[in-house]
Chain A
Amino acid sequence: MTMQSSLDIQARSATTTPSPSVRHNAEVAKLIDESKCIGCKACQVACMEWNELRGDIGSNVGVYDNPADLDANTWTLMRFAEVEGQTEGLPFQWLIRKDGCMHCAEPGCLKACPSPGAIVQYSNGIVDFKQENCIGCGNCITGCPFNIPRISKKDHKAYKCTLCSDRVSVGLEPACVKTCPTGAITFGSKEDMVHYAETRVGELKERGFRKAALYDPAGVGGTHVMYVLKHGDQPELYSGLPKDPTVSPMVSVWKGAFKPLALFGIGFTALAGFFHYVTVGPNEVEEDEAVK
């Protein structure tokens, strides 16, 4: 999406100086209550409609997931997991998770991106890709702990859920939230959403889901898309939602300590050469003396 002038920028890819940030935007969050989801995919349709996305017609791969994976035209996707024997009295469960960008407080994509301003994090917490600055390298995929960004085959730009930053900036809720018929997706300030999630977790526990929990993983500084999970102790059950996601240490080293160290090493070598020349001096041959 293009720049939303009413949203301030908290972090900007490949940028070492502060971005416009004098205004204050309250931190927002989308809460997805998996226990209320009926798998109708209205959110997927709303996302396509609002964002004008039309993917190619795919093929049935034998499960309800359609399309089979996120792609440049599919920014949110219902993933259906069939689980047996996890809860007493419930021999079979269908765990449905709305997959998409988690809008991490410490986004690995933004850290890995080499192009200034191709990824921004607004002060309200939304992480947005600015395709006009994207060079198509795919480092965002390398940095993401949730396997979300996708490069388009058509324009070689990276795409993902924007958390409807265009709608949010003018005071509307994201399209998926607006359309959800069961109220499984809610949107508001992060504080309110955490509070509401705690209430829901309490209700689920009373209903016998003793391990129900809020998914707001601390490894990425918390997220601005959160889940209420019936099986909060086993997020992996939900089509491989990572239990303790973090930005890979390899990405942190590559994009963190290594770069200044490498530049220092290169600069140091060049300077060492210069000072060697002005102190020890050139290695010359005395032509007349040597040649006999």
Chain B
Amino acid sequence: MKYLQRYTEGERSLHWAVALLFILAALSGFAFFHPSLFWLVNFFGGGPWTRILHPFLGIAMALAFAYMAWQFWEHNKLSPQDSNWLKQWRDVIGNREDRLPEAGKYNAGQKVLFWVLIVCLATLVLTGIVYWRSMFPDFPVWLVRLASLLHALAATVLVIAIIVHSYAAFWVKGSLRAMLRGTVSEAWAKKHHPAWHREMNR
């Protein structure tokens, strides 16, 4: 069977660094999100430690993500036919991929995810700084209140987006291999990313 290179070692390492930092930032953030999840502080050494670590984990994730986004930027620019792909979402979730416009390296769903992640992470960093009280001087209280609400909102959207992202990788068989070993089968590329497949075989 022939395999095509989809991600380099560097890209894979970066992706999984972001993923691990996301898990840590998300778990420490969830601890403060709802009383029923406060027990998660035990993974981080208790309440004060979780409060201390969470912003550093978040910043580390955002920096690693920013570098990854810069590398993947070119392939994630939205094109006019992406809107048709999105309009046919019923065919997407119904496994009727043959009816969809041809995808390049990334399909419209992946591109939308990319931009959602950028917006969420930028919001999380900017709003998080506003109430990182041990590191920054006090901001006006109305701004802190707005930032707190937006931080929770962006975090929720981010977590939902990552659930969708993880499920898609599990659902579309052969995808995980791309991020674990760097390669995908020729047949996978032809079916899911025909335009990219042609480009790779030019």
A250-278 contacts to B (CB < 8 Å): 250-251, 253-254, 258-260, 262-263, 265-266, 269-270, 273, 276-277
Contacts of B163 in A (CB 8 A): 266, 269-270, 273
Determine whether the beta carbon of A280 is less than 8 Å from that of B152: no
Q: How far is the CA of A141 from the CA of B144 in the complex (A)?
A: 9
B79 at interface (Cβ–Cβ under 8 A)?
A: no
Q: How many residues of B contact A (CB 8 A)?
A: 48
Contacts of A281 in B (CB 8 A): 95
CB distance from B195 to the nearest CB of A (A): 16
Contact A156:B1 (CB < 8 A) given known A262-B152, A282-B173, A283-B171: no
Determine whether the beta carbon of A115 is less than 8 Å from that of B33: no
CB distance from B60 to the nearest CB of A (A): 19
Q: Looking at the complex, which of A47-55, A78-86, A130-138, A211-219 is the stretch in contact with chain B?
A: A130-138
B129 at interface (Cβ–Cβ under 8 A)?
A: no
**Cβ contacts A to B, 20 pairs, < 8 Å:** A15-B35, A135-B41, A136-B133, A137-B131, A139-B131, A142-B141, A250-B142, A251-B148, A263-B34, A265-B160, A269-B164, A273-B167, A273-B171, A276-B167, A282-B172, A284-B173, A285-B173, A290-B187, A290-B191, A291-B1
B114 at interface (Cβ–Cβ under 8 A)?
A: no
B32 at interface (Cβ–Cβ under 8 A)?
A: yes
* Bitwise interface map of B from 112 to 138 toward A, beta carbon under 8 Å scored 1, else 0: 000000000000000000010110000
Determine whether the beta carbon of B160 is less than 8 Å from that of A266: yes
Contacts of A141 in B (CB 8 A): 133, 141, 144
Which residue of chain A is the closest to B163 with respect to CB atoms? A269
Q: State the B residues within 8 Å of A (CB).
A: 1-2, 31-36, 38, 41, 47-48, 50-51, 93-95, 97, 131, 133-134, 141-142, 144-146, 148-149, 152-153, 156, 159-160, 163-164, 167, 170-174, 185-188, 190-192
Candidates B35, B36, B48; contact of A156 at CB < 8 Å: B48
Determine whether the beta carbon of B191 is less than 8 Å from that of A14: no
Most buried by B among A138, A151, A251, A258: A138
A245 at interface (Cβ–Cβ under 8 A)?
A: no
Residues of B contacting A: mostly: helix
Q: How far is the CA of A204 from the CA of B117 in the complex (A)?
A: 61
Determine whether the beta carbon of B148 is less than 8 Å from that of A142: yes
Determine whether the beta carbon of B51 is less than 8 Å from that of A285: no
Determine whether the beta carbon of A276 is less than 8 Å from that of B93: yes
Contacts of A4 in B (CB 8 A): none
15 new A-B contacts, CB < 8 A, other than A114-B35, A254-B145, A276-B93, are: A114-B38, A136-B134, A137-B51, A137-B133, A250-B146, A250-B148, A254-B149, A258-B152, A259-B34, A262-B152, A263-B33, A266-B163, A276-B171, A284-B173, A287-B185
Candidates B38, B133, B160; contact of A116 at CB < 8 Å: B38
Determine whether the beta carbon of B171 is less than 8 Å from that of A277: yes
Candidates A16, A260, A283; contact of B172 at CB < 8 Å: A283
Contacts of A151 in B (CB 8 A): 133
Q: How far is the CA of A274 from the CA of B32 in the complex (A)?
A: 27
A248 at interface (Cβ–Cβ under 8 A)?
A: yes
Contacts of A286 in B (CB 8 A): 187
A87 at interface (Cβ–Cβ under 8 A)?
A: no
Determine whether the beta carbon of A156 is less than 8 Å from that of B149: no
CB distance from A135 to the nearest CB of B (A): 4
Contacts of B152 in A (CB 8 A): 254, 258-259, 262
CB distance from B110 to the nearest CB of A (A): 14
CB distance from B145 to the nearest CB of A (A): 4
Determine whether the beta carbon of B141 is less than 8 Å from that of A285: no
Q: How far is the CA of A115 from the CA of B94 in the complex (A)?
A: 44
Most buried by B among A251, A258, A285: A285
**4 closest A-B pairs (Cβ-Cβ)?**
A135-B47, A290-B187, A273-B167, A114-B32
Most buried by A among B141, B146, B173, B174: B141
CB distance from A170 to the nearest CB of B (A): 30
A147 at interface (Cβ–Cβ under 8 A)?
A: yes
Contacts of A260 in B (CB 8 A): 34
Which residue of chain B is the closest to A147 with respect to CB atoms? B141
Contacts of A134 in B (CB 8 A): 47
CB distance from B37 to the nearest CB of A (A): 8
Q: How far is the CA of A265 from the CA of B95 in the complex (A)?
A: 24
Which residue of chain A is the closest to B48 with respect to CB atoms? A135
